[in-house]
Amino acid sequence: MSALTPASEVMLRHSDEFIKRRVLFAGDLQDTLPALFAATEVRVHTQQYPHWQLLNRAMGDNAQFGLTLDAAFVAECDTLIYYWPKSKQEAQFQLCNILALLPVGADVFVVGENRSGVRSAEQAVAGHATLMKIDSARRCGLYHGRLDVQTTFDLTDWWQSYPLHDLTVKTLPGVFSRDGLDTGSALLLSTLENSMQGKVLDVGCGAGVVAAVLAKLSPKVKLTLSDVSAAALDSSRATLAANSIKGEVIVSNVYSNITGRFDMIISNPPFHDGLPTSLTAAETLIRGALKHLPIGGRLRIVANAFLPYPGMLDATFGSHEVLAQNGRFKVYQATVGLPPRDPKKKKK
């Protein structure tokens, strides 16, 4: 069992209220509380693949991963427990989807850390439910109300796009750099060469920006894009389609669903899991790269200059180089070299 987050610890203070309810958990849930929760029925929907992996082991088909909810999945639920994410746009998208499917009169609970902006919950559901704060602990707020009027949800209303050179980037709420190219990705793009060949894996593909630019520079590249976010995966597919680019887009928790080897692995790895700084994904990316790169294969990443990636790269590859840098970011590259020859072995 994973340690419970502060938000889940707040929910446990009220757990006796849910014993006879049919509960749907959703939002930025990062622990196994639903698997432990005493209720008539408990279901979970998440847009984050690692969260689904954690819960699926204990809950099976009662844990669902995807961009939007299946109406049949929540048909009998009468209570929502929603974990507020750090992105307000993401919260608005998810709540609009969920509250379009729950019946009028359903209880709505919203919980989250104060620094994540959970105070915006009241405004996010205004006109559909009136929320009131019912608890405050562990630097979290818990809000409760009842659904008065169902929302109207149409996925097409939530798509955004922006131009990047001669490309069109398609994005959804919660996707990194939804409104425009971020500084780190721009620096990474500046290092891409023309006429590259071979197989390239983009880990943490987001809206598919890096892969799309690479494909335009090097049309012969064979692309595989992966991410843990359902919104990112759909955004990447839409970006590739909008620009007539071929590529495989798969869900994978770093290398969990990746097979085979690639000539290059490229990434703008996240260093936040929720709000606290976390290097787990990046460390897995670096240390696991050797299994997916041949001799001469390259790992290229962009990262905040203060993060301790040089040591990880040197420990894994033996060395690294800095391809570009500005005041905040650096682009690192490490190449798989020939293993050192054992001097004890004689030549045949």
Q: Which residue has the tokens 């799309």?
A: 212
Task: Kindly state the tokens that stand for 73.
Answer: 């999945």
Name every residue whose Cβ is closer than 8 Å to that of residue 38 and which is 6 or more positions away in sequence: 15, 18, 19
Q: b/e for 26-39, b at 16 or more Cβ within 10 A?
A: bbbbbbbbbbebeb
- Boundary-marking domain end, from 153, 172, 188: 153
Name every residue whose Cβ is closer than 8 Å to that of residue 115 and which is 6 or more positions away in sequence: 139, 275
Q: What is the pLDDT of residues 223-242, one digit of tens each?
A: 999 999 999 999 999 999 99
For residue 291, being part of any structural domain is answered with yes
Residues 205 and 228 in one domain: yes
pLDDT at 180: 87
The C-alpha angle with vertex 219 and arms to 228 and 250, in degrees rounded to 5, equals 15
Task: Report whether 23 contacts 77 (CB < 8 A).
Answer: yes
For residue 239, being part of any structural domain is answered with yes
Name every residue whose Cβ is closer than 8 Å to that of residue 242 and which is 6 or more positions away in sequence: 161, 168, 170
This prediction has a pTM of 0.93
Name every residue whose Cβ is closer than 8 Å to that of residue 147 and which is 6 or more positions away in sequence: 99, 102, 103, 104, 105, 106, 107, 108, 128, 129
Indicate whether 40 pLDDT > 80. Answer: yes
Residues 232 and 315 in one domain: yes
Indicate whether 345 pLDDT > 60. Answer: no
Residues 170 and 148 in one domain: no
Distance between CA atoms of residues 159 and 282, nearest Å: 29
Residues 172 and 301 in one domain: yes
For residue 341, being part of any structural domain is answered with no
Full residue range of the structural domain in which residue 119 is found: 6-153
Distance between CA atoms of residues 85 and 89, nearest Å: 9
| Strand pairing class (160-164; 132-137) | unpaired
The residue length of the chain stands at 348
For residue 317, being part of any structural domain is answered with yes
Distance between CA atoms of residues 86 and 90, nearest Å: 8
Task: Kindly state the tokens that stand for 143.
Answer: 């809000």
User: DSSP secondary-structure letter at 147?
Assistant: B
- Boundary-marking domain end, from 115, 138, 153: 153
Q: Which is more confident, 59 or 179?
A: 59
For residue 77, being part of any structural domain is answered with yes
pLDDT at 195: 81
Residues linked to residue 38 through DSSP beta bridges, in sequence order: none
Confidence of residue 346 (pLDDT cuts 50, 70, 90): low
Q: CATH code at 95? A: 3.40.50.150
Residues 197 and 53 in one domain: no
**Which of 50-59, 91-100, 117-126, 332-341 has the weakest average pLDDT?**
332-341
Q: What is the pLDDT of residues 124-179, one digit of tens each?
A: 999 999 999 999 999 999 999 999 999 999 999 999 999 998 999 999 999 988 88
Q: What is the pLDDT of residues 251-305, one digit of tens each?
A: 999 999 999 999 999 999 876 444 344 578 889 999 999 999 999 999 999 999 9
Indicate the number of domains in the chain. Answer: 2
pLDDT at 339: 64
Residues 309 and 187 in one domain: yes
Residues 176 and 324 in one domain: yes
Distance between CA atoms of residues 280 and 128, nearest Å: 39
Task: Report whether 50 contacts 106 (CB < 8 A).
Answer: no
The separation between CA 346 and the C-alpha centre of its own chain, rounded to angstroms, equals: 50
Distance between CA atoms of residues 246 and 58, nearest Å: 37
Average pLDDT over residues 182-208: 94
pLDDT at 73: 97
